[in-house]
A and B are shown apart, each in its own frame.
Chain A
C-alpha cells in the first residue's frame, strides 16, 4: 500500500489533535475535535497494521502453496 495517503492521515490526525487540545484546554470548545482526531489516528494505525501484515500474509500464503506443491511433487515421485 502506498504510504502517502497514510502519511496524510497521520499528519492530519496529529495536527487536529493538537488543535483540538489547544482549543479545549483554553476553554473555547469541548474535546470533540480532539476525540475525532484520536479516531483518525486510530484508523490510520489500524490501516498501517493492515498494510504491513498483508505482504507477510501473502508471502506466507505463497510459501504454503509452494510447500504444498513441493510435497505433492515428492509424493508423486515416490
Chain B
C-alpha cells in the first residue's frame, strides 16, 4: 500500500488544531518555510528551463495564461448569481480560484516524484504566470477597469508584480536559468531537503486550515460545495488543456492541479488593498480551509488516478 508521507503531516496539523493541542509554530519559521519553497520551486524550474526549454514553451505559456483568465470568469457567476454573494466578495473569491497555490503545486510534485511519474520540470514558469491574470480579471469583475473604478493602479501593479511569491519565484527561476548546471552547488539545500521542509510547511498549514473553518459558518453549505466543485472544474479544464498542448502525463496532472488550486498567499494580499470592503476571511477560509485540504488529501490522488486511467503511463 502506498502511504503519502507529506500530506500526512497536513492531517497531523489539522487534527492537532481540532484537538486544541499545544502546537505552536514560530511565525518566523512559517515565513522561512514559505520563502524556502518559493525559492526551491523557482530554482529547480529555472535549471530545467535552461536544460529543456524551447520556443514551444512560449505557446504553452500563452495557453496557460488563458486558463488563468477563464477560471475566474467561470467562478464569478457561480458566486455572484448562484451563491448570491456581494459583488466584491464574489470577485475576490473568483480571483483566488483563478490563481494558484504554490503549496498545492509542491505537494503534487512530491506525489509525482513518489509515483515516479515524469513531468516537464520547467513547470514553475507556469506557476508564476498563473498567479497574475486572475487578479486582474477579479478586479475588473468587481468594479470594471475605467477611471471610476477607484483603484490606485500604481499601488495595485506594485502589489501584483512585487509580491513575495512573484518576486522570489521568478527571481529564482531566472537565477536557475542563468546558472544551469552550476546551480548544483545549492541543490543539496533546495533539492535534497525539499520534501522534509514541505512536510513541516504542511504541518503548519494544517493548523491554519483547521482554525479557518469556523469562518464560513454563515454561508457554510454554499461555500463548501463551491470550494469542492470549483477545483474539479479547474482540474478538468487544466487536464484538457494540458493534453491539448501535448504535455506528458505528469505535465497534464500538474496543469490539472494548478487549475484546481486556489491562492492563499499572493491574491489575498492584493485583494486586501484593492477591495477593502470584501470579506477576506471568507475567501481565505474557502481556499485554505476547504480547497487546499481537499486538493491535498483527495483531489491530487484523484487527478493522478483519473488522468493515468485515460492517459496511461508509457
Contact = CB atoms under 8 A, between A and B. Distances in A.
Find the residue from A2, A6, A40 having the highest chain B CB count within 10 A: A40
A32 B228 CA distance: 12
Contacts of A47: 220-221
Given A5-B82, A5-B84, A30-B301, A36 B221 contact: no
B225 A40 contact: yes
Interface in A1-25: 2, 4-6, 8-9, 12-13, 16, 23
B189 to A, nearest CB: 34
A5 B306 contact: no
Contacts of B306: 23, 28-29
Given A8-B82, A8-B83, A32 B297 contact: yes
Contacts of B162: none
Interface residues of B, number: 22
Contacts of B228: 12, 16, 36-37, 40
Contact of A8 (B222, B294, B301, B305): B222
Interface string B185-227: 0000000000000000000000000000000000111101110
Given A33-B302, A43-B221, A2 B229 contact: no
A2 B84 contact: yes
B309 interface: yes
Contacts of B294: 36
Q: Is the interface of A mostly helix, strand, loop or mixed?
A: helix
A9 B84 contact: no
B58 interface: no
A28 B309 contact: yes
Interface in B7-33: none
Find the residue from B224, B229, B294, B302 having the highest chain A CB count within 10 A: B224
Contacts, number: 68
A12 B229 contact: yes
A27 B226 CA distance: 26
Given A32-B298, A36-B294, A9 B309 contact: no
Interface in A33-54: 33, 35-37, 39-40, 43-44, 46-48
A37 B294 CA distance: 11
A16 B227 CA distance: 13
Interface string B112-137: 00000000000000000000000000
Interface string B228-262: 11001000000000000000000000000000000
Contacts of A28: 305-306, 309
Given A28-B305, A28-B309, A33-B302, A6 B297 contact: no
Contacts of A36: 228, 294, 298
Nearest to A15: B229
A6 B222 contact: yes
Contacts of B301: 29-30, 32
Given A16-B228, A47-B220, 7 more contacts: A4-B82, A4-B84, A5-B84, A8-B222, A12-B225, A13-B225, A16-B232
Interface of A: 2, 4-6, 8-9, 12-13, 16, 23, 28-30, 32-33, 35-37, 39-40, 43-44, 46-48
The 6 residue pairs across chains A and B that have the minimum distance between CB atoms:
A9-B225, A5-B222, A32-B298, A47-B221, A12-B225, A9-B221
